[in-house]
Amino acid sequence: MKVLVATKRVIDYTVRIRVKSDETGVETSNIKMSMNPFDEIAVEEAVKLKEQGKVTEIVAISIGDKTCQETLRVALAMGADRAILIETTENIQPLAAAKILQNLVKRETPQLVLLGKQAIDSDHNQTGQMLAGLLNWAQGTFVSKIELKDTIVDVTREIDGGLQMLSLQLPAVITTDLRLNQPRYLSLPNIMQAKRKPIEIIPLDTLLLDTTSRLHILKITPPEKRHTGIKVANVKELIDKLKKEAQVIT
């Protein structure tokens, strides 16, 4: 069984985000970048399935400029067999990403696609669902447990009310949640081996896809500073302040 895993290069989750002075975006110059944490979990799960003998090949995919090769090297060091970079400098939004992945699925013919439930930069949580819709495949989102059985994959989803168990007929698209696994530390030999593995680079324009942006960012601003909290002596004082100062009740 072949598994395709989508990965995205984002600002590292440990970095304090700073908004540009012109409010057009966030600062990315000289900022530590890394693989999206949810995508890292997806790669780890694919590698675990391969170690169990249920997967024969793992293909890591990334969409972006040349620096995304670093993200793919991490996936290769974790255990991916091949890597493909769809090279572009465009701002790729969820629908465009889903179309690109759909194109690669038709080319690579995997039985399973794994990707993080969302990217920590845009936080859209849309690409996996859109990809499943375009492919007309079964989908399992927010997955915290995967059990592969021949042509069936059993998944446990995290939902507002608790957990939901589903049996999906392969082929399927699965988006991974935090509690699915703990990604492994990379060993030095694996990192060195990953540096020698080739990465296939495909220019986006050769795919002849419509990747026009549907969303336009007007401006990005930092959140307002929280006001200092106060203590009230009793319920009457609380209600009075909610009415007169906060004006959230009448």
Across the range 130-145, mean pLDDT stands at: 97
Task: Report how far residue 199's alpha carbon sits from residue 60's, in angstroms, rounded to the nearest whole number.
Answer: 10
Task: Report how far residue 36's alpha carbon sits from residue 9's, in angstroms, rounded to the nearest whole number.
Answer: 6
Across the range 13-35, mean pLDDT stands at: 90
Task: Report how far residue 209's alpha carbon sits from residue 207's, in angstroms, rounded to the nearest whole number.
Answer: 6
What's residue 178's pLDDT? 93
3-state secondary structure of 117: coil
What's residue 76's pLDDT? 97
What's residue 88's pLDDT? 96
112 Cβ contact partners less than 8 Å away, ≥ 6 residues apart? 1, 2, 3, 4, 55, 148, 153, 170, 171, 172, 173, 174
**pLDDT score of 246 more than 90:** no
What's residue 51's pLDDT? 96
Task: Report how far residue 81's alpha carbon sits from residue 155's, in angstroms, rounded to the nearest whole number.
Answer: 24
Lowest-pLDDT range, 54-68, 139-153, 206-220?
Answer: 206-220
pLDDT band per the 50, 70, 90 thresholds, residue 249: confident
The tens digit of pLDDT for each residue in 82-98 reads: 999 999 999 899 999 99
Domain ranges for the chain, please list them: 2-225
pLDDT band per the 50, 70, 90 thresholds, residue 223: confident
18 Cβ contact partners less than 8 Å away, ≥ 6 residues apart? 26, 27
- Could you tell me the CATH superfamily of domain 2-225? HUPs (3.40.50.620)
Task: Report how far residue 119's alpha carbon sits from residue 7's, in angstroms, rounded to the nearest whole number.
Answer: 9
pLDDT band per the 50, 70, 90 thresholds, residue 224: confident
What's residue 222's pLDDT? 87
Residue recorded with tokens 């780890």: 44
pLDDT band per the 50, 70, 90 thresholds, residue 14: very high
The tens digit of pLDDT for each residue in 140-193 reads: 999 999 999 989 999 999 999 899 999 999 999 999 999 999 999 999 999 999
Show the tokens assigned to 62. Answer: 């990334």
Where does residue 136 fall: left (phi above 0), alpha (psi -120 to 50 degrees), or beta otherwise?
left
Across the range 97-108, mean pLDDT stands at: 97
What's residue 229's pLDDT? 85
